[in-house]
Structure 1
């Protein structure tokens, strides 16, 4: 529906297809605001909208509505890989076209989409009569929720980027900007997650309490203090509010992907990957990244690991520390990294040929330490170097506390940082290379458009084990960080009692991570001899579990307490179930009614009654039984424990 008019006062509802969710647009006294309702209960009170623009009057007042265009849209989207093959893209949309009544009479569109489980909106700024570029000083987007709501958050603008432990707090106690997704529970029991979708040419949105005691966008600034320099026409990322009746329901929200475009080119060459790595041996002190007597990335070690990957039935191998630049304090000397120059004891061409003969995919590695200027000078040559050696996967890293871009220190999550990450994704696509980005920009669903971006880090992973992770961490992730997409958690470390990196998990929990924490590039992170010599029976689950799923069914959970999920393999009728708990033990009852009719062989890897993540982490029970969809399983999860189940259809 398309209507022309000029109105000074407007109150317009945009309803979800099921009529349960409603976004109200309000224009009053020249100012634009919105509110959100669920089952006619207000969950976001009237909240301001607009911008402050450098050198210009704020784009926040003196508006008139000149036209509105509404539509209904319903389709099913097929994703090339991920937690679900098909997602619903079912929404009601209204685009509101505004103009100022005074001055330059600037124009702006607010486009609102309401899904059954989400509200999303974005600003669209066309070319203006007097200018074609603007510098955004601030974005005035509020999320005016009840200050007594509970929030689960990590701080923004910190040297370790997203790598902090999640904390539970009350909204009125927020004292700093926090990253999104920001997960919330309102006093009336509604669960929300504030996030964004389709972030390309703009600073990442963080959230803070403003002077009016309302949650407000705090766009990551550039080094000059501004938020973004944009050419018109321009559209912001979608501001996304996910809505659910329970915490476990929140984890099923896939609207972030629906708000991104379909791929504009053929990505049929993209394949998910499970891989081992010359990596954990460095963390536990056996080898080093830097050249020397204990150098890990040698030609000899690489070939040994390729042979091990073949024996283990794992398709890929990550090699870190192969290039010049790791000598000395590599965090300070990252500007010296050379991405096409191997160390003297590593022959990349020889290793690549050896991997090819054994059908093992190599995962290359680029640790930039945030020295983007240095990296971009070498980017084309570095990607070509891998491409001509048939290396189709790269793990990139940006471990510095800031990025060096154009000779200035910039936040990873600023507009310039976002632009750089996107540059690597698009160049990689041209070379038919898939990426796993560490110290990344958060996920905003662009994997739908760019499926070669298979994984990101973007939270504390298992390199923080050894004292900086508690069992509750993995029970927060599904309800917070993982709402932004898959994560490379570097799962499957079974050497739990290593004196250098003692793990705060049981053995069964490490298997569970392959189900509870999804990644399109999934790493079996421990050393091969641990799998082959010490835990071959447990490793069977790691080998069997797929990296691409048809359907995901979250079963049970509460934020920070526990999480249980079932996933169906995309290439068979088999299912996989994983569950983790925090420091508390619990017994759970799982209905198998998500299965189809027939008989399944269940292989169950679970904690014994005497298991404990500190006192007895290896105590594991492995059993097999035949089950069907009308049956259920009762399982014990030890403190810091978990379980993993494969359900292989027999008939």
Structure 2
């Protein structure tokens, strides 16, 4: 026997002895054949899966399982009783979105697993493999020996192929409003303390962990995004960071330490893995939306995109105005608020709101958000109070009927604001009365807020109880034909398909943090790859005045972008709800730049991700819904660059006029940030624009058919 043959036999023997023994395995491929996913059982009946993309390992063999409290777990001792493969290739039209029509094309494997030791109790694991990645979930059919059970933990593993670069925020049960850290996976434990900065009502996970969507890039050029879809009646998932580049599911517990209460027939949310060797494909993915159920609303005609302004940003600028009407502390809802001593700086007054309505009407905006209109703002922050707001009683200087009549006469809506003070129990008790009040007074949209520690006490923003609460609010709002924009809520998972009146969410570090320490220039080059993977964000862009004085400290603060970058957000940060967040007087100072905000669409027929690299830059073009108008936005990090804008998405054989709003050469995020220039050029589908982007800057382009 040759030495080579002997070496091969030894190597084969070593592999057989060290590899798990599989008693069942089945493979599916994506429709385009780029992905292969394999499900298997090892010799102990433990379920495993793995995922490859173009021959490269994305997820190495990883365990699956659900641990049950006070009962037999769904972890091992399984046998396969059935395995079926099917395919689907359909299209559907979202009520609002980045695309008029979305293709839903996948191959599916459904494996039925039984446990003989538990009277053949069975579950299913359903895999859907798309051309952009994998989704899978656990399903628990109704059966004689399985009805109610409590989840102690979910043991879904993501065994990664290497020490990838990762863009992450620390795991937390109550807030998504951390700043992003970029590091290697192996560096996360050492950076966890630094990343976990102080935020209101936070509850960090003690062991090394990250939140989803979690964006990674491998050394060999694969972009990998892990998240979840269809988060209903289940706690949100973070990811434990384990040795050997392993991530595993970490569910948000409830007040008594349980992770979920289940009753068959039921299922978990989908676990999603979006993968490509092109960063642009990650942003173009519709996998998460496709895994959500279609809406059951019979009438969606009342759900419409909204461009709005608001009595909001002035609360963050020192000395301008306040949410509260009075000066007193120890205020109760039963008090006579007309007897409060006015503080002289209340923002939501009849006079001020009417000025905002006039500005909205003059400039073509749909609505005006008014915060601080209702009694209760005097002393609730920092006090874990049950009944702070009743959602129907205005302050003495806010006349609900007068203002809504005035807004209606101008063709403008007022957006209601319901700050719940995180007392979800109080909000649910008053919900129908509050929505009836809105309907009676002409409101068709509400911004909800959940600032503070959740009541019922011990529950978390991302736990099962609150997940069900947010959905209940959306469903109940639909009964009154009301759209919902939730802040401080669980991060989105594509449920805007199922509940299209849940029009947007915050659920990340948004513009308000520009007045509370600032946002890094790279922040909005990361958000499209993380937070926005789950759904539209109410980021509240459009700040033109970049030097601020923060309302709490009086200290100097600046918005860490150029003015032109603020314009770009209306394209790069998708939402059918877009705010021009600055004060009207600041827009009046820059009317030529403000023109882009007035013109830009908020609902789209098509979107084109032209170039992207997480943490560095994003350039996106979109076609306005039902119009021959196109808009382009581009943002960068702290480094200047030259962007490439290939206009081959334009109809061929026509000429167009492009208006470019761009940084001047001397502009940057921290110097001369208001220096911009506007130029008009003729373009066609053959045009390849090269455009300078300043450090921390951006540009915006509007394109119309040449007259």
TM-score category by the smaller chain? over 0.9
Query: Does 1:442 pair with 2:491?
Result: yes
Instruction: Give the Cα separation in 2 of the matches to 1:152 and 1:275.
Output: 31
Give a deviation string over 1:259-278, Cα, whole Å, max 9, x none: 11111122121000000000
1:162-561 matched pairs, under 5 angstroms = 162-175=176-189, 176-210=208-242, 214-265=246-297, 266-285=299-318, 286-291=320-325, 292-332=343-383, 335=386, 336-400=388-452, 402-405=453-456, 408-466=457-515, 467-500=517-550, 501-532=557-588, 534-561=589-616
Seen in structure 2, the aligned counterparts of structure 1 residues 333 and 543 have a Cα distance that, compared at 3 Å, is farther
Query: Does 1:566 pair with 2:621?
Result: yes
SS at match of 1:563: strand
Seen in structure 2, the aligned counterparts of structure 1 residues 125 and 331 have a Cα distance that, compared at 3 Å, is same
Which residue matches 2:31? 17
Which residue matches 2:201? none
Q: Is the 8 A contact 2:68 2:153 kept in 1?
A: yes
Instruction: Give the Cα separation in 2 of the matches to 1:329 and 1:535.
Output: 38
Give a deviation string over 1:181-203, Cα, whole Å, max 9, x none: 11112233211111111111000
Q: Is the 8 A contact 1:371 1:403 kept in 2?
A: yes
Seen in structure 2, the aligned counterparts of structure 1 residues 208 and 432 have a Cα distance that, compared at 3 Å, is same
SS at match of 1:412: coil
Seen in structure 2, the aligned counterparts of structure 1 residues 158 and 445 have a Cα distance that, compared at 3 Å, is closer
Give a deviation string over 1:85-141, Cα, whole Å, max 9, x none: 211100001111111021332210011110011111111012342341000001111
Deviation at 1:578, TM superposition (A): 0.5
Instruction: Give the Cα separation in 2 of the matches to 1:547 and 1:331.
Output: 37
Which residue matches 2:340? none
Q: Is the 8 A contact 2:173 2:462 kept in 1?
A: no
Give a deviation string over 1:412-448, Cα, whole Å, max 9, x none: 0000010000010001111100011111111111111
Deviation at 1:33, TM superposition (A): 0.4
Q: Is the 8 A contact 2:155 2:249 kept in 1?
A: yes
Q: Which runs of 5+ in 2 are unaligned?
A: 1-21, 190-207, 326-342, 551-556
Q: Is the 8 A contact 1:43 1:186 kept in 2?
A: no
Q: Is the 8 A contact 1:77 1:258 kept in 2?
A: no
- Choose from 28, 33, 54 the match for 2:42: 28
Seen in structure 2, the aligned counterparts of structure 1 residues 614 and 158 have a Cα distance that, compared at 3 Å, is farther
Which residue matches 1:640? 696
Q: Is the 8 A contact 2:658 2:680 kept in 1?
A: yes
Whose radius of gyration is greater, 1 or 2? 2
Deviation at 1:158, TM superposition (A): 6.2
Number of residue pairs matched by the alignment = 640
Instruction: Give the Cα separation in 2 of the matches to 1:231 and 1:212.
Output: 36
Deviation at 1:147, TM superposition (A): 4.1
Which residue matches 2:92? 77
Which residue matches 1:3? none
SS at match of 1:488: coil
Q: Is the 8 A contact 1:248 1:557 kept in 2?
A: yes
SS at match of 2:358: helix
CA RMSD of aligned residues (A): 1.6
SS at match of 1:178: strand
Instruction: Give the Cα separation in 1 of the matches to 2:239 and 2:302.
Output: 38
Instruction: Give the Cα separation in 2 of the matches to 1:43 and 1:213.
Output: 12
Instruction: Give the Cα separation in 2 of the matches to 1:12 and 1:333.
Output: 53
228-237 vs 327-336, greater mean Cα deviation: 327-336
Instruction: Give the Cα separation in 2 of the matches to 1:128 and 1:218.
Output: 28
SS at match of 1:310: helix
Instruction: Give the Cα separation in 2 of the matches to 1:309 and 1:393.
Output: 16
Instruction: Give the Cα separation in 2 of the matches to 1:109 and 1:230.
Output: 15
Query: Does 1:582 pair with 2:596?
Result: no
Instruction: Give the Cα separation in 2 of the matches to 1:488 and 1:213.
Output: 33
Q: Is the 8 A contact 1:222 1:415 kept in 2?
A: yes
Deviation at 1:343, TM superposition (A): 0.8
- Choose from 138, 143, 161 the match for 1:123: 138
Deviation at 1:374, TM superposition (A): 1.3
Which residue matches 1:630? 686
Instruction: Give the Cα separation in 2 of the matches to 1:331 and 1:378.
Output: 22
Which residue matches 1:5? none
Q: Is the 8 A contact 2:518 2:560 kept in 1?
A: no
SS at match of 2:210: coil
Instruction: Give the Cα separation in 1 of the matches to 2:674 and 2:624.
Output: 28
Query: Does 1:595 pair with 2:646?
Result: no
Instruction: Give the Cα separation in 2 of the matches to 1:589 and 1:74.
Output: 34
Deviation at 1:170, TM superposition (A): 1.6
SS at match of 1:355: helix
Which residue matches 1:90? 105
Deviation at 1:210, TM superposition (A): 4.0
298-307 vs 199-208, greater mean Cα deviation: 298-307
Instruction: Give the Cα separation in 2 of the matches to 1:64 and 1:212.
Output: 29
Give a deviation string over 1:436-469, Cα, whole Å, max 9, x none: 1111111111111111111111111111114331
Instruction: Give the Cα separation in 1 of the matches to 2:295 and 2:240.
Output: 34
Query: Does 1:151 pair with 2:184?
Result: no
Instruction: Give the Cα separation in 1 of the matches to 2:402 and 2:530.
Output: 43
Q: Which runs of 5+ in 1 are unaligned?
A: 1-7
SS at match of 1:410: coil
Q: Is the 8 A contact 1:325 1:334 kept in 2?
A: no
Q: Is the 8 A contact 2:617 2:634 kept in 1?
A: yes
Instruction: Give the Cα separation in 2 of the matches to 1:209 and 1:507.
Output: 38
Which residue matches 1:608? 664
Q: Is the 8 A contact 1:147 1:170 kept in 2?
A: no
Give a deviation string over 1:588-638, Cα, whole Å, max 9, x none: 222211111211111110011111221211111111122111112121111
Which residue matches 2:68? 53
Which residue matches 1:66? 81
417-426 vs 259-268, greater mean Cα deviation: 259-268
